[in-house]
Structure 1
């Protein structure tokens, strides 16, 4: 099992104009997971005191 935290980045991951290197990192790891046929994954968005956040949970088939 792979758990990756802080993947929503307050919504910046879907902002095509973001130049934040942390956003690029989230996109890169998401693309790598999606391209791997041995992994199933889902992203979960959470909303709490610090704003929007989320995590990716992936598992090997």
Structure 2
């Protein structure tokens, strides 16, 4: 049996541009999520503690990680 496979050849420049765009997209996402919470840190912490009240995480660990 013979196999007919077609391989996609990507140029290094195209891979670098795709990687750059992915990094920018992820960076903007992290920035937006952090920026919306930075001005209301106590509210964010209390909401997170309330959300995780029924989980197995101790409250003091949730508070430390939320801050």
Q: TM-score with structure 1 length normalisation?
A: 0.32
Kindly indicate which of the two structures has a greater share of residues assigned to strand. 1
Higher CA-based Rg: 2
Q: Which has the higher contact order (CA 8 A, sep 6+)?
A: 1
Kindly indicate which of the two structures has a greater share of residues assigned to helix. 2
Q: TM-score with structure 2 length normalisation?
A: 0.29
